[in-house]
A = this chain, B = another copy of it.
C-alpha cells in the first residue's frame, strides 16, 4: 500500500506512463506464468498415474491432507467446481482408502474429510516434489524474494477471496 507524492512533476509523468503501462500488455509475465504453471503441475503427474489418479484427485487430496476435518462445502469453495465433479474423484479417493469421511459431531449432516496414513504419504510425496522445484528456483534469487513472491501471488487472487485464502494458507491466527 505505498503511496507516492503527487505534486512533483517527475512523478506525474510517471503516472502517465503508468496508464500506458496498464494498456500495454505484460506479455512477459503472462507467458512466463503460463509456462511456469505448466511445468509446476506436471511434476506430480507421473506419480499420480501409478495410482490411477489425475490432477483432480491431487487437488482434493492436497487440501484434505492439509486441513484435516475439511467439509465438502469448504472444499467446493476452494476448488470452485460442482459437487458432482468433486464427488466423482472424492468417491475414488475414499474407495481406494486415501481419504476417509467421518460424520460431523456438531452438525451431523456434514462430512469431515481426513486423509488416511496412505493418503497423507502420497500428499506429502507430491508436495515435496513441487517443493523441490520451488526451492530450486528460489535458490537463484535474493533472500527476500520469497516474501515478495508470496505477496505478489496473493495480490493476483480475486480481492474478495484474498482474506479467505490467506487464512487457508497461513493459518487463521496470523493476520
Whole-angstrom CA separation of A31 from B140 in the bound complex: 21
Query: Is B80 touching A38 in the complex (CB atoms < 8 A)?
Result: yes
Number of copies: 2
Whole-angstrom CA separation of A29 from B34 in the bound complex: 16
10 residue pairs A–B, Cβ–Cβ below 8 Å: A22-B132, A22-B135, A25-B127, A27-B169, A28-B170, A29-B149, A31-B66, A32-B153, A32-B157, A35-B161
Query: Is B150 touching A149 in the complex (CB atoms < 8 A)?
Result: no
With A158-B39, A165-B35: A26-B134 Cβ-Cβ less than 8 Å: yes
Closest to A79 in B: B38
A133 at the interface (CB under 8 A from B): yes
Partner of A22, one of B39, B131, B149: B131
Query: Is B36 touching A157 in the complex (CB atoms < 8 A)?
Result: yes
| Count class of interface residues, chain A | 35 or more
What per-residue 1/0 map shows which CB atoms of A124-137 lie under 8 Å from chain B?
10011011111111
Query: Is A155 touching B140 in the complex (CB atoms < 8 A)?
Result: yes
Query: Is A154 touching B25 in the complex (CB atoms < 8 A)?
Result: no
Closest to A24 in B: B131
Query: Is A141 touching B153 in the complex (CB atoms < 8 A)?
Result: no
Q: Whole-angstrom distance from the CB of A21 to the nearest CB of chain B?
A: 6
